[in-house]
């Protein structure tokens, strides 16, 4: 038995090449300027006979009634779906539904027949997210702290101002960065902004950014977490593994990057700013500190509603939708003042 399903993405009549796949997601068309795009594949039987065959495989392999293991790999730009061994994807009728970050794919199930010892090639039409970012940075009234960070930072080989104006970076990355700058500017209040501790932003993905910061940021966050009104709280260890990617990004400039210690702080409430600070050995204030910033849609440790919002965020291949989040942030009067962009739907 050697049944395989090959899923080829087609955009504007041409193949969209899938270069690699990992636990972090997929890389398309050799993108190197951000993390892999999140991917979710729903795959199941589309006939009673096929379902019976799958149940037989589950029983033989000792899998649970809701578990079915498949193997995903790239080949010649396509996504290849196989069983974990040659006997575990029997011939039959199946359906699947695919989601990939920042792409629009069919919402309906795609059904197909898989014959014995054959490859089944399926082409799926995709299109990019039509939403775009319209910058509002030309005004002389742009906040000076935000202008300073934009001027001092470089991203993907460009000054941050030029990067935002460049059409190549995904709009979701731009929205994420601009949302985080606005949240940092307004936290914990307008007079004592955390943004003043940012030295240079050097990485931005669709749901977080990294920056070089001064050591005072760490001290301030600790102090805020100790205040009686607790505008920030310290996240207890261990932190989710995703935060260690910050250490991976600083290895090129810090030979002892793996000895840095991560400390995470979260602002109170939903749509809350989270700062994860990489502290050098001995908390040496003469050295550069680094930080990851992101926005939690929910506060999982505080209420059930927050937990389920957070769970949905983790499972979504699109991660946090910062283009959509802009509308929610604009309802906060202190943050709205520093949102220097609009979302337009082309």
Q: How far does Cα 247 stand from its chain's mean position?
A: 17
The DSSP call for residue 163 is H
Question: What pLDDT does 328 receive?
Answer: 93
Last residue of a domain, one of 128, 155, 176: 128
- What's residue 317's pLDDT? 53
Residue located via tokens 């502290």: 279
The pLDDT value recorded for residue 23 is: 79
**Residue-wise pLDDT tens for the chain (346 aa)?**
689 999 999 999 999 999 999 877 899 988 876 788 888 899 999 999 999 999 999 999 999 888 899 999 999 999 999 999 988 999 999 999 999 989 999 999 999 999 999 999 999 999 999 999 999 999 889 999 999 999 999 998 899 999 999 998 999 999 999 999 999 999 998 889 999 999 999 999 999 999 999 999 999 999 999 999 999 999 998 898 889 999 999 999 999 999 999 999 999 887 899 999 999 999 999 999 999 999 987 654 444 333 333 333 333 455 789 999 999 999 999 999 999 999 998 7
In this prediction the pTM is: 0.84
CA 62/CA 290 separation, integer angstroms:
46
Going from the C-alpha of 174 to that of each of 30, 91, 96, 140, the distances in angstroms are 20, 45, 31, 21
pLDDT in tens, 123-175: 999 999 999 999 999 988 999 999 999 999 999 889 999 999 999 899 999 99
Say whether both 34 and 173 belong to one domain: no
Task: Clarify whether residues 175 and 303 are in a common domain.
Answer: yes
Range of the domain at 104: 4-128
Whether residues 98 and 209 share a domain: the answer is no
**What is the bridge-based pairing of β-strands 154-155 and 158-159?**
antiparallel
34 and 74 co-located in one domain? yes
The residue among 71, 103, 128 that closes a domain is 128
Is 164 in the same domain as 192?
yes
Same domain, 276 and 170: yes
Indicate if 118 and 173 belong to the same structural domain: no
The CATH number covering residue 31 comes to 2.60.40
Structural domain count, the chain: 2
User: DSSP states of 289-321 as a string?
Assistant: EEEEEEEESS-TTT-HHHHHHHHHHHH-TT-S-
Q: Are residues 295 and 155 in the same domain?
A: yes
Same domain for 27 and 124? yes
């Amino acid at each position: 038995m050697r049944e395989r399903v090959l899923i080829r993405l087609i955009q504007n009549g041409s193949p969209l090449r899938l270069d690699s796949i990992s636990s972090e997601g997929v890389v398309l068309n050799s993108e190197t300027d951000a993390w892999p795009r999140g991917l979710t594949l729903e795959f199941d039987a589309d006939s009673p006979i096929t379902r019976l065959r799958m149940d037989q495989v589950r029983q033989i392999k000792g899998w649970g009634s809701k578990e079915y293991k498949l193997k995903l790999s790239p080949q010649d730009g396509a996504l290849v779906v196989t069983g974990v061994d040659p006997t575990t994807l029997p011939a039959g009728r199946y359906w699947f539904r695919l989601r990939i970050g920042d792409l629009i794919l069919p919402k309906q199930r795609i059904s197909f027949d898989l014959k014995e010892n054959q490859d089944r090639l399926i082409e799926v039409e995709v299109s990019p997210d039509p939403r775009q970012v319209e910058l509002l940075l030309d005004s002389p009234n742009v906040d000076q702290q935000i202008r300073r960070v934009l001027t001092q930072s470089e991203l993907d080989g460009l000054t941050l101002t030029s990067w935002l104006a460049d059409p190549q970076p995904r709009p979701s990355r731009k929205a994420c960065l601009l949302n985080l700058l606005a949240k940092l500017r307004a936290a914990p209040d307008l007079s004592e902004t955390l943004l003043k501790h940012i030295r240079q932003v050097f990485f931005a993905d669709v749901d977080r950014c990294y920056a070089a910061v001064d050591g005072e940021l760490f001290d301030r966050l600790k102090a805020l977490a100790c205040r009686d009104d607790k505008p920030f709280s310290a996240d207890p260890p261990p932190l989710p593994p995703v935060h260690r990617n910050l250490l991976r990004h600083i290895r090129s400039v810090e030979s002892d990057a793996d000895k840095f210690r991560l400390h995470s702080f979260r602002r109170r409430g939903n749509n809350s700013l989270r700062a994860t600070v990489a502290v050098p050995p001995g908390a040496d204030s003469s050295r550069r500190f680094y930080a990851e910033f992101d926005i939690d849609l929910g506060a999982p440790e505080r209420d059930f509603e927050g937990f389920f919002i957070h769970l949905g965020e983790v499972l979504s291949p699109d991660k946090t939708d910062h283009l959509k989040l802009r509308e929610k942030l604009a309802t906060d009067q202190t943050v709205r003042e520093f949102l220097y962009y609009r979302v337009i739907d082309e």
